[in-house]
A and B are shown apart, each in its own frame.
Chain A
């Protein structure tokens, strides 16, 4: 029984993504899917990078939102825009240190001009930027968000 519990505990520990979050690589077709899903989930898609100080400042609010609303119809996706050759040296250590459990995806398509408009035609490409949407209801924010602003915008869409 005791051994069984230890195995269960080990399995549980192994499933905590912050220990070693797996970062799927995505391209512009994946991004189009991620930013255009038609279902009853509210998607909060944040574009960030470890070198972007305002992104680093606000990322805790997205993690908090993921933990609070992840089981109630809100899906937080953190799209990372670090250079793909810096994922092991910068992104993974950052996620571990901050204990980020919200799903992170690495955008590997560096031809930014080919996909920025897919996310929102009003986006210039500066980060942080956040898209919150449910079906056709969308709000796009090219700015750093306070906790309050993030939650206010979420509640515009997710009610």
Chain B
């Protein structure tokens, strides 16, 4: 009888372990959706400091940009991201850039090279290294650049918009839809962004698998 009970307990434990593992796999793939609470992070910035999402609790929102050094789409958007920060940081929506790539797979994305890029291009925002790659996975980012616009709702950051900056990566002067700016303006007007998600071609996030 004792053995029987023990085995049921073991079975329950095993099932719990399995379902937890399964749930974490699902979470890993699903990432965040509009309306979800954002995941806090604490990552090393190119200036040597540590930057956390919670440091921005006095802001109206944060434009989280998963980006990297070598991706041509990231490069094509670099100036646009700087301009977005200059335009919207004073309005309470600063940019925080996060580099999610494994630098053994993508040698252009080492911390030193990130620092060099930040200086060279004069990034007015933090450029953080997701060294363990946990942050991009928690957010569900799949490519660079990949934008998560977060809104500060009474001290809790919520995901408001996920996707592209605009609809012309090649030519900033030929853009017809400014998805991200439209999303920020919706928030400022007290509305939810529509569309709340967009898709774009981009570089894969580099992992060792």
Binding site for B on A (CB under 8 A): 47, 49, 51-52, 54, 81, 83-85, 110-114, 116-117, 123-128, 142, 144
Contacts and interface: CB of A to CB of B under 8 A. Distances in A.
Contacts of B72: 49, 51, 83
A124 B199 contact: yes
Contacts of B163: 113
B168 A126 contact: no
Contact of A124 (B142, B167, B174, B179): B142
Contacts of A49: 72
Nearest to B71: A51
Contacts of B196: none
Q: Which of B71, B174, B179, B204 has the most CB of A within 10 A?
A: B204
Contact of B200 (A83, A113, A128): A113
A126 B198 contact: no
Interface string B68-81: 00011000100000
Contact of B198 (A52, A54, A110, A113): A113
A142 B153 CA distance: 34
Interface residues of B, number: 25
Given A83-B72, A125-B199, A125-B201, A112 B167 contact: yes
Given A51-B72, A54-B204, A123 B167 contact: no
A127 B202 CA distance: 7
A110 B167 contact: yes
Interface in B89-123: none
B149 interface: no
A113 B142 contact: no
A32 to B, nearest CB: 16
Contacts of B170: 83-85, 110
Nearest to A143: B204
B23 to A, nearest CB: 20
Contacts of A126: 142-143, 201-205
B167 A111 contact: yes
B169 interface: yes
B75 to A, nearest CB: 10
B204 A112 contact: no
B90 to A, nearest CB: 28
A59 B142 CA distance: 21
Given A51-B72, A125-B143, A116 B201 contact: yes
A125 B200 contact: yes
Given A124-B142, A126-B203, A83 B169 contact: yes
B169 A113 contact: no
B164 interface: yes
5 contacts: A112-B169, A113-B167, A113-B177, A123-B199, A124-B143
Given A83-B72, A124-B142, A110 B169 contact: yes
Contact of A52 (B167, B177, B199, B203): B203
Nearest to B75: A51
